[in-house]
Amino acid sequence: MERFAALATAPSAVPRAAVEAVVDAGARAALVDVRSPGEHARGRAPRAINAPLFDDDERAAVGTAYKTRGRGEALVLGMAAAAPRLEAIVERAKRAVETVATTRGNGDGEDDGEIDVYVMCFRGGMRSSCVGWLLKERLRGARVHVVEGGYKAFRRWALERCGPTRGLPAPRVCVVGGRTGVGKTRALLALRAKGEQIIDLEGLANHAGSAFGWVGREPQPTSEHYSNLVACEWHALDASRWVFIEDEGPHVGRCSVDPLLFERMRNAPLVLRMVAPRELVKRLGGDRVRDIREKLEAGDFTAVAEGLLEYYDDVRFHVDLVHAVRLIGVPNLHQVIIRATH
């Protein structure tokens, strides 16, 4: 057992890869996370598939054995727990490689050569080394690497990425602000459609950023995983161009905005404030307003909500986004008001 562990973890057994290489590879590579399901659920690198070597209870038991009875006992217990899962791990890795090959082959199943496969555990130690050695032996047409430092190194990278990382240039931030319902997210998505850079903090958080912003959406990620997603989005930006981000507080629903990014937003050199007309009577008409008021006074709150939602859904805002983008070139411009029209 000790001999196998020494062979699998030897520096020459499986090549090591830095976290930056994994992030930059993106969808062009397969990332296999061999941590337990609970570890993976708390936070992971984007696009990582979970092929756990242990379940949560087994991981805890192996850790306890290592601390109380030593490395040898822990290896025996770990091998016994992992053995039944090895074939399933290989099959999951094969499917991940096939998915990448299909993407690289424009949907025809052909790729452009060998595909990189990165194996990640928590610290880049025994778990990823053993699985990396196995996949190196079993996967054809793939270059297998173990992620140096594992998820712990990736997490450290993610926590630092939105800040002043080693003097790297960063894009200038333009914050898009305005009241709830004015159409800020719609404006951001329109900007992206025109080729501009955005970070959709609400979209990544599966939340609309308002009191009932969770309604009709998938469950929110953990704050840890949310910050991983945001860090990778920030890393992918072109530092020579502007990035548009919706004005948010320190939280989007239950997800915490990265403090370093939040500081950048609070000190953004440009804020675009979207303003929508507030004349309810003009939009709804006098008769509809009177009807809603009567229902409100009568306590028929369901009818009031339905009437206002009908108004809300019918509102369409138009924003001259091209003009807004051009305004960025004006020196010393700190705030621009975009007036939205019906």
Q: Indicate if 232 belongs to the active site.
A: no
CB-based burial of residue 113 (10 Å sphere; 0-12 exposed, 13-18 middle, 19+ buried)?
A: exposed
Query: DSSP secondary structure string, 68-134?
Result: HH-HHHHHHHHHHHHGGGHHHHHHHHHHHHHHHHHHHTTTSS--SS-EEEEEE-SSSSHHHHHHHHH
**176: which strand partners?**
246, 272
CB 141 within 8 A of CB 97: yes
Report which of 238, 170, 197, 183 is spatially closest to residue 325, judged by C-alpha positions: 197
Backbone φ and ψ for 120, nearest 5 degrees, come out as: -130, 130
**144: which strand partners?**
117
CA angle (298, 302, 303) in 5-degree steps: 70
- In angstroms, the CA 98 to CA 90 distance is 12
Catalytic residue among 121, 130, 174, 255: 121
Structural tokens at position 32: 């296999």
Strands (E), the chain: 16-17, 30-33, 49-50, 115-120, 142-147, 173-178, 197-199, 243-246, 251-252, 255-256, 270-275, 335-339
- In angstroms, the CA 131 to CA 52 distance is 10
**Percentages of the chain per state (helix, strand, coil), in multiples of 5:** 50, 15, 35
Catalytic annotation, residues = 121
